[in-house]
Chain A
Amino acid sequence: MLRILRLPALDQVIEILSAQESETLLMAGGTDILPRPAALASTRLLIDLSQVAELQGIALDAEGRIRIGAAVTHQEIVDHPLIQRKAQLLSMACSSIGSVQIRNLGTIGGNLANASPAADSLPALVCLAAEVALASPRGIRFLPVSAFILGPGRTARAADELIESVRIPVVTGRRVAFFKKAGQRRGMCCAKASVAMCAHRHGDGRLTKPRVAMGAVAATVISVPAAERVLADRVLTMAVIEEAAAACCEAAQAIDDIRSTASYRRHVVGALLTEGLAEIYDHMQDLARRQARRRRRRS
């Protein structure tokens, strides 16, 4: 017999989690759970987190980080001005999840808990150096996303822990970012491969502190330090882009599956990085041209 509890407060959830032995399933939007009746069959207790007050909202926390409640939906993230201004990469990534209907139900906490290698939000969160806040009777602990995700469907969350929120450090200055995804079709599909990238942009055309992460080309989301090293402190040129793309292809540990092939995935992460960086390159060329024009007018 499956019991379903919809709880309003975080401490109630934590209390039950610490008391329960096992076979408790946590659900927020349900977009990963409802299509899998088999998962529900072995569940005795289902806790609906969608109404827990402490899991809602997007705001700055005490330390000035962006705090996104675990039950915040993908669509809220896409639409939120703070995210659009300060963590645009996440807004881009979340906008490619499923369809409007799925984005209105699915949550950031759920996307993390599900730990799919192809999850769209994860490469963005890794690039943004996001941390997962885990609540338990012992209080709250923070884990970087890359430490939280252990494998396909496996996370570092203990049985009595609950994803409370995601925290994203706010960085100032001019930023560039993109999320690119190759799928079977344009909407409503899992990534064959995805690439997220963000960096600081300087007036002289250099990119600093670049972060690159890839989805669906390994057992977990992976960051690509080799590509980051190529891009760091360099002015973007086609040669640099090619070198970084090669590093992505090299880093992919892709497999053949029903959605695509290992060789396509290895190739396409390079192509996706190239596409995104080329857009940034074009954008920066544009900026440079406009600056030059302004200077000419002034003189």
Chain B
Amino acid sequence: MSAERKTRIVGRSVAKSDGMELACGAPLFCEDQLPPGCLHARVLRSSYAHARIVSLDVAPAEQLEGVAAVLHHGNVPRVMRTTAGQGAPEPSPYDFTTFDSKLRYVGDRVAAVAAETPELARQALGLIQLEVEQLPAIIDAHKAQAPGAVVIHDEPDARVVIPVTYEPQRNLVAHVDFQVGDVEKGLAAADASFDREYSCHYAQHAPIEPHCALAEPLANGRLRITTSTQVPFHVRRIVAQALQWPVSRIRVIKPRIGGGFGAKQEVLIEDLVAFLAVRSGRPVFLRLSRAEEFNSRTRHPMHIRLRTSVSAKGELKSVDMNVLSNTGAYGCHGLTVVCNCGSKVLPLYRWDDIRFWADVVYTNGPVAGAYRGYGATQAAFAMEVQMDEMARALGIDPVQFRLQNHIRSGETSPVFQALGEGGEGVAQNIGSNGLAKCLRQAAKEFGWRRRPRRQSKAILRRGQGMACLMQGSSIPEVDMGAASIKMNEDGSFNLLVGATDLGTGSDTILAQIAAEVLGVEMAQILVTSSDTDLTPFDVGAYASSTTYLSGEAVRKAAKTVAGQIRKVAANILGLPVRKLSLAEGQVVAADGQSLTLARIGASSLYEKDQNQIGAFASHTTQKSPPPFSAHFAEVEVDTETGLVRVLDYVAAVDCGTAINPALAEGQVEGAVANGLGYALIEEIKLDERGRLRNGSFREYKIPSTLDLPKIRVILVPTYEASGPYGAKSVSEIGINGPLPAIANAIFDAVGVRLRQAPFTPEKILAALKAAEQESS
């Protein structure tokens, strides 16, 4: 794909292909598909943050009428692996097995039961006798590496499968350190330097549908798993690994799913239903309770120290970012999330000297994993708040300051080369870059610096803040997406993709790309996705990859199919192929002759030179072109109650070509709402024994529509030459904006810098009080 050209279906907000059936309540979700005689599973979980199992007696549970199978560390083979649904070999440590004799957090698996009803399964759990030796627990990440700290993963078989630092005997999951230039010198020599610490907290994805999975043993000895997942092919591989089966005996199907946000990039329960189905010889279903879901996977809490320096004229000089990331009891995504802190934030600006160093540590807290934003959220908070602080110290408008320093098209950053998925990354030059346009358009739409302000003595004080963001589009030289297309005799096409629509609309977008290339309407593209038996491989829905990566695979496959169609038409019409093109469901010749696709389909299947028109295509990428974004927020801070109201929010995003603008806007709105929750309301709280204090929607609140401002989204079109029809990604980037934009707006309103999220009324009042005492 080289030049921009006019498109017919790409760039149009066509209706989501599954929208109507979902709205009508069709039985499309995992739990809608339970077969007769399906058993129900329940999991006995640790109520200790750290303990060793001394004895486990499951006999009373096994003897309960209606219990079909009970699993525990004594009867399930020990196969060390990771739950992280990543490409193999995974960059996450192999520190997990189906059941272990050691319990590492409150919620860790002790045993699992399959029984005739959920109630019986629950009753059976109550009969299991567990005796443990309690061990000291580490809840605070800062204490994980203290001398003499208890070792959380003392098992000798915990290991890494790629060559990276892993020292479990020091509770160290990962360590990263790279430097370009001389940061200390750069910090010392500059006109102004800054040194601040920031922290981000545990939060949960809160998908509307918790994790659920159904495993069915088939008569031919295979196992069919229907699961609410973002990564069906990784589920197949990891379940095969756990069962010690060949991949060929497992089929994984992803039905419609109710949201994932990264929580379902984890193979969290599929191994359990698989084992239980194999043991009992019957279908087994498991749905996590909401309490379990809250303790399933979380965002990595981080502590970030950021040091920067800048010249008096506002040129950025040196940056030193140091991160302490808490991965909880298991190391899934520990390394890669922390790498993203650097790789998705530091290249945004031009720096002379860069150092990025990070430790990821085990604690006995909830297990962190993939969560929309994936490390960029936490690091962008630190960076963008510090950028605001620098701009103000220099007396430069924060928008101007960013315009002056951001990376341009054709430029590169040494960070791309230095930081990859654990090891080195892939060097890339920035292609499309609409950041300057985003900044200008969003500032104009928002009315930056032109808004009336309340007086500084008022109780309700308004302030404005902004932030700049980048993310990536897929993981270069790692991710692969594939598609196949075949043509039917009526001129319709089956599009088969491994890509995973988790409610994002990727089935629709991929169909749009195919329809565009093949010159047909949406109704002619029949999408089947995420079935490991039927569809080609795809890594799944993560790393903002589907539109950019799988979309390009679809485009390539469609291109090949279009060529085949033209060839058949050329034979029928007796014209050279080059004179033919596809449009409006027909092949049209330069001289005005035309053939309908139905005619061509029928000919190829029934009449002459019979042949299935169809093609496979795969796509990998050498780059991960960043989408860029500028966010602006206005808040009103009640200095008496500490309450922050977000009055206005503008997000401009350069996602290349928006294949479906309505869906792209929806992604941004959803991500901003998600981020506002993280900034203002949401926080998982633990007690001193590592138990969740608010693992329920009663206490853990996410923003409701009443809490959200009107979120105005501006799509700033650019053309990314390496993506399908110029597209880049859009799904994650938006979540990174609210933390810094709101923090900066709060500062603008009341003059206090909040560096510890979330910005609850309690914290704001405390900060105001502290500021008052300091000034008096």
Contact = CB atoms under 8 A, between A and B. Distances in A.
Interface of A: 35, 99, 182, 184-190, 258-261, 264, 267-268, 271-272, 274-275
A185 B641 contact: no
B196 interface: no
A186 B699 CA distance: 14
Given A185-B707, A186-B706, A35 B641 contact: no
Interface in B735-776: 761-762, 765
20 contacts: A182-B641, A185-B681, A185-B701, A185-B703, A186-B704, A186-B707, A187-B704, A187-B706, A187-B707, A258-B693, A258-B694, A259-B699, A264-B762, A264-B765, A271-B640, A272-B641, A274-B640, A275-B638, A275-B640, A275-B641
Given A99-B704, A186-B706, A261-B762, 14 more contacts: A35-B698, A185-B701, A185-B703, A185-B706, A187-B704, A187-B705, A188-B701, A188-B704, A259-B699, A264-B761, A264-B762, A267-B765, A268-B761, A275-B638
Given A185-B681, A264-B761, A258 B706 contact: no
A35 B290 CA distance: 12
Nearest to A187: B706
A188 B707 CA distance: 11
Interface string B694-717: 100011010111110000000000
Interface of B: 459, 638, 640-643, 681, 685, 693-694, 698-699, 701, 703-707, 761-762, 765
Contacts of B699: 258-259
Best-buried of A35, A185, A260, A267 by chain B (most CB within 10 Å): A185
B294 to A, nearest CB: 13
Contact of A182 (B459, B643, B701, B703): B643
A186 to B, nearest CB: 4
Best-buried of B641, B681, B694 by chain A (most CB within 10 Å): B641
A186 B643 CA distance: 10
B interface, by DSSP: helix, strand, loop or mixed? loop
A185 B762 contact: no
B701 A258 contact: no
B124 to A, nearest CB: 17
Contacts of A264: 642, 761-762, 765
A3 B704 CA distance: 36
A35 B291 CA distance: 13
Nearest to A274: B640
Nearest to A184: B701
Contacts of B704: 99, 185-188
Contacts of B638: 271, 275
Nearest to A99: B704
A208 to B, nearest CB: 26
Contacts of B640: 268, 271, 274-275
Given A260-B762, A264-B762, A189 B701 contact: yes
Contacts of A185: 681, 701, 703-704, 706-707
B625 to A, nearest CB: 37
Contacts of B681: 184-185
Nearest to B699: A258
Kindly list the 3 A-B residue pairs having the minimum CB-CB distance in the complex, ordered from nearest.
A271-B640, A186-B706, A187-B706
Contacts of A268: 640-642, 761
A124 to B, nearest CB: 19
B697 to A, nearest CB: 9
Best-buried of A182, A184, A275 by chain B (most CB within 10 Å): A184
Contacts of A267: 765
A72 to B, nearest CB: 24
A246 to B, nearest CB: 13
A275 B641 CA distance: 9
Nearest to A260: B762
A185 B646 CA distance: 12
Nearest to B460: A275
Contacts of B707: 185-187
Given A185-B701, A186-B704, A258 B685 contact: yes
Contacts of A259: 699
A271 B641 contact: yes
A185 B762 CA distance: 13
B213 to A, nearest CB: 24
Contacts of A260: 762
Given A258-B693, A271-B641, A274-B640, A182 B761 contact: yes
A41 to B, nearest CB: 11
Nearest to A264: B762
Contacts of B694: 258
Contacts of B642: 264, 268
A190 B698 CA distance: 8
Contacts of A186: 704, 706-707
A242 to B, nearest CB: 11
Contacts of B706: 185-187
Contacts of A190: 698
A241 to B, nearest CB: 12
Nearest to A192: B761
Contacts of B643: 182
Nearest to A275: B640
Nearest to B643: A182
A99 B693 CA distance: 24
